[in-house]
Amino acid sequence: MVATESRNGVTVVTLKPHLSADWPQVKRFIALIAVVVFTVAAAWTLAGIWLALPFAFIEVGLIGYLLYRVCFRLSYLHQRIAVERGRVVLHEGVRGPDREWILARPAAHLHVVLPVKEVDMIGLHLCDDDTRLELGAFLNGDGREQARQALRDAGLVETSDRWWVQG
């Protein structure tokens, strides 16, 4: 998802991943899986095969941990690019800014890596003389095109790895 906001000569472009399920929905899914797995494990335990119970705990714990890592931690990563008159500031983090980079404006530009094959997506990088930062790695193809247009509209100069190709 790409959101743009302009105020007092500062354009802020916010990049967030598209979420198919938010964290409360994922927690309900984990609870549903746990009910099914523990029901089956309880039935096997009552039949005398008690060894199914520890594996049920391991299974639900592993599913919960992996869904937490993917759906909660990594899906809420966002980037916020503030394009000001003299500088470009990139904030990156989960739910809030964890890291910040400041690039001087005359040298700061958007570098686009065009796809080699049709199935590849464009790559977006915020660059200056010393720094190259990847933008929107979590976005899909349409989101990357929207981010490219939003950053271009904010006043960043765009360069390409294949300058002779139109697009």
Range of the domain at 128: 2-19+80-160
Question: Measured in whole angstroms, how far is the alpha carbon of residue 19 from the centre of its chain?
Answer: 9
Residues 116 and 95 in one domain: yes
Evaluate if residue 22 carries a pLDDT over 90. no
Sequence-ordered list of residues with C-beta below 8 angstroms from that of 110, at least 6 positions apart, any chain = 124, 125, 126, 127, 135, 148, 151, 152, 156, 157, 158, 159
Residue 166 lies inside a defined structural domain of this protein: no
Q: Kindly state the percentage of the chain with pLDDT values over 90.
A: 60
Residues 29 and 94 in one domain: no
Q: What pTM does this model have? A: 0.74
Residues 127 and 53 in one domain: no
Residue 167 lies inside a defined structural domain of this protein: no
pLDDT band for position 166 (cuts 50, 70, 90):
low
- Looking at the structure of the chain, the number of domains it has is 2
- Residue ending a domain, among 74, 89, 108, is 74
